[in-house]
Chain A
Amino acid sequence: MIPIIGLLVGVIIGILVPYHIPTQYSPYIAIAILAALDSVFGGITASFQGKFNIKMFISGFFGNAILAAMLTYIGKKLDVDIYLAAIIVFGTRLFHNFAIIRRFLLNKYLKSDNI
């Protein structure tokens, strides 16, 4: 529940803040959003599995975001779309984590371990 409240708070802050991102920095923010999404799903999965480690979580969030942004930057300089690598990895992991969460929730509510 708290994460959803956090998300709402974040959206409201974002709307109220008068800043906007220039077009050329848009890809970095997009990649950073993906990294954050990946971290959130990873964190939820880990907490369901009881393996949540706050240091791992925070370092993973910032580390992934920075690495992805750097890849985007280097890719721009080299004219190779390296950020696609980040998109694919994050995307795959997103779905993978979502699958685990789904399984966990279904098990929990249906009270059956067969799924």
Chain B
Amino acid sequence: MRNFKAQIAIAFVCVILGVMISIQLKSVKRNDAVQSKQFQRADELQLELSKEKEKNENLYKQLLQYEKDLNSYEKQFSEKNVIAGALKQRLDQAEILSGLTAVEGKGVVAVLNDSKLKNEGSMAVDENYFVIHDEDILMVLNELADAGAEALSLNDERLIATSEIRCAGATVSVNNNRYSTPFTIKAIGNPDTLEAALNLRGGVVDILKQWGIEVSVKKSNKIFIPRYDGYINFEYAVPVKKGGGDQ
């Protein structure tokens, strides 16, 4: 009788044990399935992304072709017509200014790299002083613009009126693309003036070198600056009609 009681008690616990084991097995199986589904989803998205990228590339090629055609039409037309010729000249200037066409010419190339100074021991200060920030880059670019640079690029990303240079974690965001060190700044303009502007005593390069940030400025006779590749869409800005713009 006593043994029977024991068996009933053990059976009772066994029921609970069985319920727990089967539910747990079910849950583990299900959770694994959920996880593998997530991986699958990531794979799908990856595939979609690469497809979109390919499409994008093809469209870009098409765009280049259209622009080539457009250029040849413009050329043909301007050769025939004096007014059209003048307009074409203005258009070319506007394209350089807006960054819609690649340019080349004399200028300087400045390469900025993080400090390699050792920051340790009792003299250790904030690590942040030893890495390049968006502000440092902006300082250099501003100096170059002041010295008469006609076209600027950062890591071959053409800087236009709407370009941003902004801290994005460990990287710097330019034209919505992210770049990390080293930063190569190209500027087209009078090479001597541009170089002198950067190397002023107490100027930008001096300030950056205090922290050991490596700055090299080189003059060059031929610098190529690519065009702006991004999408241009003016949603809010509308040109003011000539003559009606005065308040």
Q: Categorize the interface residue count of chain B.
A: 20 to 34
When C-beta atoms are compared, the residue in chain B nearest to A32 turns out to be: B20
CB distance from A18 to the nearest CB of B (A): 10
Q: Is B26 an interface residue (CB 8 A)?
A: yes
| B-contact 0/1 string along A8-34, CB 8 Å cutoff | 111111110101111100100110110
Residues of chain B within 8 A of A2, CB atoms compared? 7-8, 10-11
Q: Is A110 an interface residue (CB 8 A)?
A: no
Q: Is B18 an interface residue (CB 8 A)?
A: yes
CB distance from B1 to the nearest CB of A (A): 12
Query: Which residues of chain A from 16 to 62 have any CB-CB distance to chain B below 8 Å in the complex?
Result: 17, 19-23, 26, 29-30, 32-33, 36-37, 39-40, 43-44, 46-47, 52, 54, 57-58, 61
Q: Tell whether, in the assembled complex, residue A10 and residue B10 are in contact, meaning their CB atoms are under 8 Å apart.
A: no
Q: Tell whether, in the assembled complex, residue B15 and residue A30 are in contact, meaning their CB atoms are under 8 Å apart.
A: no
Q: Tell whether, in the assembled complex, residue B20 and residue A14 are in contact, meaning their CB atoms are under 8 Å apart.
A: yes
Q: Is B63 an interface residue (CB 8 A)?
A: no
Binds A, one of B27-35, B68-76, B156-164, B188-196: B27-35
Chain B interface main SS type: helix
Q: Is A115 an interface residue (CB 8 A)?
A: no
Q: Categorize the interface residue count of chain A.
A: 35 or more
> If the complex has contacts A11-B21, A14-B19, A33-B17, are A6 and B26 also in contact, measured as CB distance less than 8 A?
no
Q: Tell whether, in the assembled complex, residue B30 and residue A37 are in contact, meaning their CB atoms are under 8 Å apart.
A: no
Residues of chain B having any CB pair with chain A under 8 Å: 2-3, 5-24, 26-28, 30-31
19 of the cross-chain contacts (CB-CB < 8 Å) are A1-B7, A2-B8, A6-B12, A6-B13, A6-B14, A7-B15, A8-B18, A10-B16, A10-B17, A14-B22, A20-B26, A20-B30, A21-B23, A26-B28, A29-B27, A36-B17, A39-B13, A54-B5, A54-B6
